[in-house]
Amino acid sequence: MRLETWLRSLLAGLRRELRWKHPDPEKDIDATHENVLMHAYKMAWVVQLMVALEEQYGDMTDIRAYKMLQAAVNHDIGEAVNGDVLYDEKTEDDEQQEVEAYVDLMRTVVPLGCAEHFPLSPDASAGGVFTDREVQFWDVCEKVGYLIFLHEEYCLGKTIWKLIVIAGLCGSVIACTLQELNISLSR
């Protein structure tokens, strides 16, 4: 397959697949639906922001910025094939199918011996691909991405997000995330 044809097909699949949309309309949540392509771009931007903050105020020891950005771009590519499963309903089998779809897609265009340069996210990669610090950094980046989305949904008056904020979950997630960042903003 030609690379441009493959990329166009991949991007169309990522653009077609909606996040936060339950297949059963009765279980659909009151959230803004974004496509997986939008989510991947936003995640890459969040990782870029977090790398900048960590470089400015923290410690980048054992965190490879380029590897983290690659993971952000690649982390949901398998959803172009298998679709998005809501986080609270995703099973290990769903995760495995997403990884297999990603590997199959990569085999189509990535030259032999270069697969290591196209990592999935730390939570979906085999052990040893990422350092422990990178795994922690990725987890924080994901939480920050969800917090940004949560804040916007709350500002838009989405009811389900109001319940989460009222329950105090947002405050404890923010506190945990900031503690995990280990950034001294007093510098």
Residue type, 102: Y
CATH of the domain at 62: 1.10.3210.10
What confidence score (pLDDT) does residue 6 get?
A: 87
What confidence score (pLDDT) does residue 165 get?
A: 56
What confidence score (pLDDT) does residue 147 get?
A: 83
CA distance 40 to 84: 12
Structural domain contains residue 186:
no
CB 74 within 8 A of CB 118: yes
| Token pair for 108 | 């189509």
Give pLDDT tens digits for 63-111: 999 999 999 998 888 888 877 776 667 788 888 888 888 888 888 888 8
Give pLDDT tens digits for 129-172: 899 999 999 999 988 888 888 878 878 887 665 555 555 555 55
What confidence score (pLDDT) does residue 164 get?
A: 59
Residue type, 111: P
Domain count, the chain: 1
Give pLDDT tens digits for 33-50: 788 899 999 999 999 999
What confidence score (pLDDT) does residue 56 get?
A: 93
**Cα-only R_g, the chain:** 17
In the chain, what's the furthest Cα-to-Cα distance?
Answer: 53
Which residues form the domain of 33? Answer: 3-181
CB 50 within 8 A of CB 141: yes
What confidence score (pLDDT) does residue 161 get?
A: 59
CA distance 24 to 22: 5
Confidence band, pLDDT 50/70/90 cuts, at residue 27: low
What confidence score (pLDDT) does residue 177 get?
A: 47
Structural domain contains residue 14:
yes
Structural domain contains residue 100:
yes
